[in-house]
Structure 1
Amino acid sequence: MYKRILIATDGSPLSDKAVESGLSLAALTGASVVALKVVPRYPRSYFEGGMPVDASDVKRIEGQWGDAAQAMVDAVKAQGAAQGVTVKAVTAKSDLVAEAVISAAKKHKCDLIVMASHGRKGLKRLLLGSETQHVLTHSHIPVLVLR
């Protein structure tokens, strides 16, 4: 059925449920998994929503975010190993989360994307956007959304 499943995670409790479901599906189908955490870039100017900070501080902060992301996908890899699922832990640095998810799925030749939807509605959805909705509408492979 599925040979390689991309599981996108953001570390939230809802995302953890998607990880569990994706790993269970991989175990049932004999698929391997690509665990992905997209790391945002630090806002570099006032107009991008951040305070101007020293370049060395930006590098340090982005390094901390990258380390935390790596720890997150390494935890998914350990969970997968406990279930007998081969997991490749991947991080991507991008401000365009949905595009990074779709790109990683293509790059790793995945045939299914598993991710959570936070179910935001109204003004929150308008302001925060929906990465899951973007993946659903732009992906050329199936997407399993968990809530």
Structure 2
Amino acid sequence: MYKRILVATDGSKLSNLAVQHALKLADVTGAEVVALKVVPRYPQTYFEGGVALAAEEIKRIEKEWQAEAMEVVNAVKAEGQKMAVKVKPATVKSDLVAEAIIAAAKKHKADLIVMASHGRRGLKRLLLGSETQQVLTHSHIPVLVLR
């Protein structure tokens, strides 16, 4: 059925539920899992919400974010090892989260994308947006959304 499942995670409690579901599904189907965390770049201008910092400070912050992302995906790998599920940890640096998830799924030849959704409605959805909705709208790979 599935050979490779990409699970998008940010390390939150909600996304951890999606991770657990993806691991169980992989265990049942014999699939591999790609655990993906998208790491943003540091905002460079006031318009993006950033504070002017020296280039070396920005590099230090981005390196820290990358290390935290690796901790998140390596935790998924450790959970997979407990279940005898092969997990490949992956991080991608991008401000366009949905596009990065779709591109990673194509790159890793995933059969399924698993991710969580907060299920926001109304004004909150308009203001905060929905990466999950963007993935659902633009992905040609099936997407399993958990709430």
SS of the residue aligned with 1:106? Answer: helix
Structure 2, unpaired ranges of 5+:
none
SS of the residue aligned with 1:37? Answer: strand
- Find the aligned partners of 1:127 and 1:66 in 2 and give their Cα distance: 27
With the length of structure 2 as denominator, give the TM-score of the two structures. Answer: 0.98
Q: What's the counterpart of residue 98 of structure 2?
A: 98
The list of structure 1 runs, each at least 4 consecutive aligned residues, that deviate by more than 6 angstroms after superposition, is none
With the length of structure 1 as denominator, give the TM-score of the two structures. Answer: 0.98
- Find the aligned partners of 1:122 and 1:55 in 2 and give their Cα distance: 39
Aligned partner of 2:143: which letter?
V
Q: What's the counterpart of residue 117 of structure 1?
A: 117
- Find the aligned partners of 2:121 and 2:55 in 1 and give their Cα distance: 37
Query: What RMSD over aligned residues (CA atoms) do the two structures have, in Å?
Result: 0.6
- Find the aligned partners of 1:122 and 1:63 in 2 and give their Cα distance: 36
Query: 1:63-82 residue pairs with structure 2 within 5 A?
Result: 63-82=63-82
**Per-residue deviation, 1:123:** 2.0
Report percent identity of matched pairs.
71
SS of the residue aligned with 2:132? Answer: helix
Question: How many residues are treated as equivalent by the alignment?
Answer: 147
- Find the aligned partners of 1:27 and 1:93 in 2 and give their Cα distance: 29
Aligned partner of 2:19: which letter?
V
Q: What's the counterpart of residue 6 of structure 2?
A: 6
Structure 1, unpaired ranges of 5+:
none
**Per-residue deviation, 1:48:** 1.4
Query: 1:1-147 residue pairs with structure 2 within 5 A?
Result: 1-147=1-147
Per-residue CA shift, 1:47-94, capped at 9, x if unaligned? 211111111111011011000000000000000011010000000000
- Find the aligned partners of 2:124 and 2:96 in 1 and give their Cα distance: 18
